[in-house]
Amino acid sequence: MTSTLLSAAAVAATQPADPRALTPALPDFELIELLFFAYRDFVGEPDRLLERHGFGRAHHRVIHFINRHPGLTVAELLDILEITKQSLARVLKDLIHGDFVEQKAGAEDRRQRLLFLTDKGRALADGLATMQHQRITRAVAAIGPEHRPMIARFLAELIDKERGAAPATGPSAP
């Protein structure tokens, strides 16, 4: 009857700000922990769908970005994911053999392997995206949709900015 069964919310619940701020600014443990628990559950639900296909989180990411940018090259995908060629290769092989992804030689540069989802791949991508979308939609609804831009801004600000900004080709992804 021990093991206090701490819920994620309970663990993350912290006294918001110290009443009389004598201490030199305590870390924002509440948001630190909420990010941990939120992300875990956010990817945990898709994980269970992926398991049915024998896939993992890495497959999810690959499927996601090919879905978002059909015709993506392998090099571009490596840039986005920031993993090594070898890590991607294993996952990509699974997806191609399982007929979720197909490759076509680039029209201009025939060395390139442009990546596309098959119908099967798109179906899986949609299923995964729907799960995450619904979870986000619920959360956005809870705070009021008018605050969604704040969330986007906050998350964008958490991202490292030193990484390759858009080059000559244009301001962002096509």
Q: Convert residues 111-130 into a mask of x (bound to a second copy by CB under 8 A) and - (unbound).
A: ---------------x--xx
Nearer Cβ to a second copy (97/129): 129
Dist. CA 155–CA 136, nearest whole Å: 13
Interface with DNA (CB under 7 A), residue from 20, 52, 97, 111: 111
Collapsing DSSP states into helix, strand and coil, what is residue 159?
Answer: coil
Q: Is position 93 an interface residue for DNA (rule: CB under 7 A)?
A: yes
Q: Is the alpha carbon torsion for 127, 131, 134, 140 positive or negative? A: negative
Dist. CA 34–CA 9, nearest whole Å: 8
Q: Give the shortest CB-126-to-a second copy separation in angstroms.
A: 8
Residue 94 and residue 59 in contact, taking contact as beta carbons nearer than 8 Å: yes
Query: Which region among 48-56, 93-101, 114-122, 165-173 touches a second copy (by CB under 8 A)?
Result: 165-173
Name which of residues 18 to 37 contact a second copy (CB under 8 A): 25, 27-37
In the list a second copy, DNA, none, the entry touching 127 (Cβ below 5 to 8 angstroms by class) is: none
Dist. CA 43–CA 94, nearest whole Å: 20
Q: Is position 157 an interface residue for a second copy (rule: CB under 8 A)?
A: yes
Q: Give the shortest CB-149-to-a second copy separation in angstroms.
A: 8
Helix axes 29-51, 119-143, angle to 10 degrees: 150
